[in-house]
Amino acid sequence: MKITKSFVDKIELPPLDKNGKQTQVFYRDEALKGFALRVTSGGSKSFIVEKRIDGKVKRKTLGKYGQVTAEQARKLALNFLGEVAFGRNPIAERNDKIAKNITLEEAFDDYISARKDLKASTEKEYSRQLNTSFGDWKNKPLVSITKNMIEKRHSELGAKGEANANGAMRVLRAIFNHAINKYEDSNGHPIIQINPVERLSHNRAWYQTKRRQSIIRPHELSDWYEATLQLNQPVTRAYLHFVLLTGLRRSEAAQLRWQDIDIKGLCFTIPDTKNNRPHTLPITEAIYDILKILKASQRNEWVFPSPLNDSHLKEPRTAVDRVCELSGITFTIHDLRRTFITIAESLDISAYALKRLLNHKDPNDVTAGYIISDIDRLREPMERINNQIISYYKSED
CA-wise closest residue to 108 among 177, 164, 161, 156: 177
- Do β-strands 56-64 and 45-53 pair in parallel, antiparallel, or remain unpaired? antiparallel
Q: Output the pLDDT for position 367.
A: 44
* Fold of the domain built from segment(s) 218-393: hpI Integrase; Chain A (1.10.443)
CATH of domain 5-88: 3.30.160.390
The helix/strand/coil state of 239 is: helix
The helix/strand/coil state of 198 is: helix
Q: Which residues are CB-neighbours of 261 under 8 A, at least 6 positions away?
A: 268, 283, 291, 303
**Rounded to the nearest 5°, which phi and psi values hold at 25?**
-135, 140
Q: Output the pLDDT for position 368.
A: 46
Sheet holding 45-53, edge to edge: 24-28, 35-40, 45-53, 56-64
Q: Output the pLDDT for position 372.
A: 42
Q: Output the pLDDT for position 212.
A: 63
* Every domain range in the chain assigned CATH 1.10.150: 104-202
The H-assigned helical ranges of 117-189 are 120-133, 147-160, 162-182
Q: Output the pLDDT for position 393.
A: 92
* Every domain range in the chain assigned CATH 1.10.443.10: 218-393
- Average pLDDT per run of 10 along the chain, which is 397 residues long? 89 88 91 90 90 81 90 87 76 71 92 87 91 95 93 95 93 94 76 91 87 84 96 95 95 94 93 83 96 92 92 91 94 94 91 86 50 74 96 78
* Every domain range in the chain assigned CATH 3.30.160.390: 5-88
CA distance 215 to 160: 26
CA-wise closest residue to 60 among 68, 13, 253, 185: 68
**Rounded to the nearest 5°, which phi and psi values hold at 187?**
-95, 5
User: pTM higher than 0.85, yes or no?
Assistant: no
CA distance 58 to 53: 6
Statement: 104-202 belongs to CATH 2.20.25: no
- Report whether 95 contacts 138 (CB < 8 A): no
**Rounded to the nearest 5°, which phi and psi values hold at 93?**
-65, -40
